[in-house]
C-alpha cells in the first residue's frame, strides 16, 4: 500500500529578550535598546477570527480576547479566544452559560486572573452591565452592583484598572451624545460599587475612542485623543490625579516636549517598562471633503524623561494602518491584534518588542 503520509507540524516559536550579560557583556555598558521591532505572532492553535472593536487583557500567562465585530460580514462575536504565552498556542476554552452575549466596542480591564468587561453595543442596544471572566475556572458571572448609582449605557468608552480592585471608566458615546464623565468601580468586596468622580474645571471635552492609561500605581491616569462633536478628532493629553482618594481630584492638560501623536481616535496603548507605547488609530484628512486617515506609526511617551519620542522600528514588515485593534503588554513585549482600516477587518497578530538581543526558541508541538 501507499506509505503513511508524514504529519506536517509547524514550529512553535517563542521570543525572549536575552540580557547581553549571558554572553559576557554588561547590560549597563551597552545601554537600553533605543529601537523596536515588529515580529508576527505565528503559533500553534486556531487564532481568533478577524475582528475589530473587541477587548483584550492579560491574565497571568494568558492574553484573553473577547467579542468584537466583523464590519463587512456584519458579524458580532461573543467568543473567548486565548493566547497561552507559555505554551505558544491559541485555544478556545470551554465556557458554559451564562455569558455576556455578543457585543462590540465595549471596554475591559484585568484584576489578577479575571477579565472585567463593561458596556458596549449589541446591535443598536448599548449596555451598562459588568461581567467577570474567571480564567482559572473559565466561567462568566455578572457582577452584582450595590445601589442604584451606575454609569449610563455606552460604547467606545475607556477603562483601566487601578490598584485595590478598582477600575476607572471615562467617556464614550450613548447613542445621542459624547460623554465626559468619570466613574470608579470598586470590586474589592466581590460585588460592585460605582462612584462618580466629581471634578471641577478644567476638564477634557466629552469624547469617545480615546485611551486611558494608569501610571504611578494608580495615582495618575493619562487620557489621550478620541473623537468628539462635529467630527472633530482630538490630540490632547490630560492627567487625572486623586481618583484613588487621599488628594484633590483634578484634571491637568499636559504639554510635553517632542513629536507626539497626531490627533486620532480608535488607537491603542500598551506599557513597556517606563514607556507608554501608542499605535494606530484614525484621524481625518482632506479639505473640502473630510475622510478618515488610518495610522501605522509607533509613538512613545517616555515617563522617565517626560517627553514624546518616535523610535526606529525594524522588521521586514509590521501591522498595516488600522484602528479599533488591541494592544496587550506581556512583560517587555506588546501583542497587537485585529482592527479595521475602513475597508478591511484584520485578524493578524504581531509582537512589538525592544530591538535588543533576541533569542528565538523553536520547538515542535507535542
CA–CA separation, 104 and 97 (whole Å) = 19
Q: What is the pLDDT of residue 226?
A: 98
- Scan for cell 465585530, then name that residue: 69
Q: Stretch 130-135: mean pLDDT, rounded? A: 98
What percentage of the chain has pLDDT greater than the value 70? 87
**What is residue 230's DSSP assignment?**
G
User: pLDDT per residue over 178-191, tens digit each?
Assistant: 999 999 999 999 99
Compute the mean pLDDT over every residue in the chain, rounded to the nearest whole number.
88
- Indicate the range of 23-37, 92-106, 345-359 predicted with least confidence: 23-37
Q: Check: CB of residue 254 under 8 Å from CB of residue 213.
A: no
Q: Check: CB of residue 135 under 8 Å from CB of residue 62.
A: yes
- Scan for cell 451564562, then name that residue: 98
**What is residue 135's DSSP assignment?**
T
Q: Residues 61, 65, 70, CA angle at the centre, nearest 5°?
A: 155
Rg value, the chain, Cα: 21
| 36-40 and 313-314 beta bridge pairing | parallel
| 3-state secondary structure (DSSP) of residue 267 | coil
CA 180 to chain centre: 20
User: pLDDT per residue over 204-259, tens digit each?
Assistant: 999 999 999 999 877 899 999 999 998 899 999 999 998 877 788 999 999 999 99
What pairs with residue 226 in β-bridges?
Answer: 234
Q: Which is nearest to 120 in space by CA: 163, 67, 162, 83?
A: 67
Neighbour-count burial of 339, counting CB atoms closer than 10 A to its CB (0-12 exposed, 13-18 middle, 19+ buried) = buried
pTM over 0.85: yes
**What is residue 156's DSSP assignment?**
S
Q: Check: CB of residue 254 under 8 Å from CB of residue 240.
A: no
Amino acid at each position: 500500500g501507499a506509505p503513511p503520509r508524514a504529519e506536517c507540524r509547524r514550529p512553535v516559536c517563542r521570543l525572549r529578550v536575552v540580557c547581553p550579560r549571558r554572553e559576557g557583556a554588561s547590560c549597563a555598558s551597552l545601554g537600553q535598546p533605543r529601537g523596536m521591532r515588529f515580529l508576527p505572532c505565528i503559533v500553534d492553535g486556531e487564532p481568533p477570527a478577524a475582528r475589530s472593536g473587541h477587548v483584550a487583557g492579560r491574565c497571568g500567562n494568558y492574553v484573553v480576547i473577547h467579542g468584537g465585530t466583523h464590519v463587512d460580514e456584519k458579524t458580532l462575536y461573543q467568543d473567548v479566544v486565548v493566547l497561552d504565552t507559555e505554551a505558544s498556542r491559541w485555544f478556545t476554552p470551554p465556557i458554559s452559560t451564562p455569558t455576556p452575549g455578543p457585543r462590540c466596542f465595549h471596554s475591559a480591564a484585568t484584576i489578577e486572573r479575571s477579565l472585567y468587561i463593561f458596556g458596549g453595543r449589541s446591535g443598536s442596544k448599548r449596555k451598562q452591565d459588568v461581567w467577570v471572566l474567571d480564567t482559572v475556572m473559565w466561567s462568566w458571572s455578572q457582577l452584582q452592583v450595590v445601589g442604584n448609582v451606575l454609569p449610563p449605557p455606552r460604547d467606545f468608552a475607556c477603562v483601566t484598572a487601578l490598584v485595590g480592585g478598582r477600575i476607572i471608566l471615562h467617556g464614550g458615546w450613548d447613542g445621542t451624545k459624547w460623554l465626559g464623565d468619570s466613574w470608579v468601580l470598586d470590586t474589592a468586596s466581590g460585588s460592585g460599587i460605582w462612584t462618580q468622580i466629581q471634578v471641577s474645571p478644567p476638564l477634557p471635552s466629552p469624547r469617545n475612542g480615546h485611551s486611558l492609561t494608569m501610571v504611578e500605581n494608580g495615582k495618575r491616569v493619562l487620557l489621550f485623543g478620541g473623537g468628539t462633536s462635529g467630527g472633530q478628532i482630538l490630540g490632547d493629553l490630560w492627567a487625572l490625579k486623586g481618583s484613588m482618594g487621599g488628594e484633590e481630584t483634578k484634571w491637568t492638560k499636559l504639554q510635553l516636549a517632542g513629536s507626539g501623536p497626531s490627533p486620532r481616535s480608535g488607537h491603542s496603548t500598551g506599557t513597556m517598562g517606563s514607556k507608554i507605547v501608542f499605535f494606530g488609530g484614525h484621524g481625518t484628512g482632506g479639505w473640502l471633503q473630510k475622510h478618515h486617515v488610518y495610522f501605522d506609526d509607533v509613538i512613545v511617551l517616555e515617563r522617565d524623561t517626560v517627553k514624546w519620542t518616535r523610535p526606529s522600528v525594524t522588521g521586514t514588515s509590521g501591522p498595516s494602518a488600522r484602528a479599533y485593534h488591541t494592544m496587550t503588554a506581556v512583560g517587555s513585549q506588546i501583542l497587537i491584534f485585529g482592527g479595521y482600516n475602513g475597508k478591511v477587518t484584520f485578524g493578524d497578530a504581531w509582537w512589538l518588542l525592544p530591538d535588543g538581543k533576541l533569542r528565538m526558541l523553536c520547538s515542535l508541538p507535542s
